[in-house]
Amino acid sequence: MSSEVACQAVALREGLETSLDISNSRRSQRFLDFPRNDRREDTTVYLFSSLHVYHDISPHSAAMNMAIDEALLEHATVPSIRFYRWYSPALSFGYFGKFSDVASCGAERDLTRRWTGGGIVLHGNDLTYSIAIPANDIAFGESSMSIYEKIHRALSHALIASGARAELASVAAVSDCRNQIDSAVGDRRYSNAGVNHSGYNCFANPVRADVMIDGRKIAGAAQRRTRRGLLQQGSIQEVELENGLAERFAEELSNNCELGRLSETVHCRARKIAARKYATDAWLRKR
């Protein structure tokens, strides 16, 4: 078995998505060229009254991507969403994850331990985003589950607008999916599921309020809450990404979206965080 196939098998066993969480900004016009979902009404209550949107088009290393997300949370003065890509195929795993579970993937992917929780996520062909909610924003007062669900509901609306049959995973759907996975674990054919696309129906082991299309989990996320605010890191996979999805997603979160560029202050802080934390073996192998 190749190291990449083994890597996919590791991600499947851990029940996560396989390929299947500002000051000095430059503002520009709102997204006026993207039609809103016709199902929405003017009385819709959005999660955020305003939202800074950053399209980080320069790919970064796994460590730097994690560091930028943390720096963004430190400096965000209003809710912010950052869409980003990866310099090379990467694998992120949750704060409480064990390095030994992903070590075999290091030859094929850039490994990083996230600051948020959750399990293993393979990156490269996905659309990754982070949402930073400062503690002074009203949305921060909501429960973590409520924020998680509202963000994913906004994403599902954006997907529906593009013609996809997206929905949020219910408790019943999660239970049914886990039962199928439990059955598969007892079957030796399970080891091949990572490379057999026909076996992807429940490969992601969804949790409540994850985004599903035709029984497949296509988006999941993880959070971290601090006194500064809340960070949600998420990944969107196995859907068409180059059709304005990011813009529609942002517009479903707020009707007052403003494009911006991450400030040099944020990038400078991120480089320091990466050097002392995410790029170190001490952080990567801490468990």
pLDDT one-digit tens code per residue, 53-70: 999 999 999 999 999 999
**pLDDT for the residue 240:** 86
- Percentage of the chain exceeding pLDDT 90: 66
* Weakest-pLDDT range from 36-45, 101-110, 162-171: 36-45
- Secondary structure (DSSP) of the chain: --HHHHHHHHHHHTTS------TT--------SSPPPTT--TT---S-S-EEEEEEEEEE-HHHHHHHHHHHHHH-SS-EEEEEEESS-EEEE-TT--GGGTGGGTTTSEEEE-SS----EEESSSEEEEEEEETTSGGGGS-HHHHHHHHHHHHHHHHHHTT--EEEPPHHHHHHHHHHHHHHHTSGGGGGTTT-GGG-TTTT---TT-EEETTEEEEEEEEEE-SSEEEEEEEE-SS--SSSHHHHHHHHH-S-EEEE---HHHHHHHHHHIIIIITSHHHHT--
- Distance from C-alpha of 182 to C-alpha of 176, rounded to nearest angstrom: 10
Q: How many domains does the chain have?
A: 1
Beta-strand relationship, 166-168 and 211-213: antiparallel
Between 275 and 118, where is the model more confident? 275
Beta partners for residue 113, in sequence order: 93
Q: Provide mean pLDDT across the span 30-47.
A: 51
Q: pLDDT tier at 241 (50, 70, 90 boundaries)?
A: confident
Question: 20-34, 60-74, 109-123, 251-265: which has the minimum mean pLDDT?
Answer: 20-34
Q: Which residues are catalytic?
A: 202
Confidence check: pLDDT of 204 > 90: no
**Which has more confidence, 54 or 192?**
54
Over residues 74-82, mean pLDDT = 97
Task: Give the model's confidence band at 8: pLDDT under 50 very low, under 70 low, under 90 confident, else very high.
Answer: low
Dihedral of CA 172/176/181/182: which sign? positive
Local confidence band at 11 (pLDDT 50, 70, 90 cut-offs): low
Q: Would the pLDDT of 36 be above 50? A: no
Supply the range of the domain harboring residue 110.
Answer: 3-284
pLDDT band at 78 (very low <50, low <70, confident <90, very high): very high
Q: What is the CATH number of the domain that holds 271?
A: 3.30.930.10
**What is the Cα–Cα distance from 190 to 199, expressed in whole angstroms?**
9
Judge whether residue 262 has pLDDT over 60: yes
Better pLDDT: 110 or 172: 110
Kindly give the pairing relationship between strand 257-260 and strand 51-60.
parallel
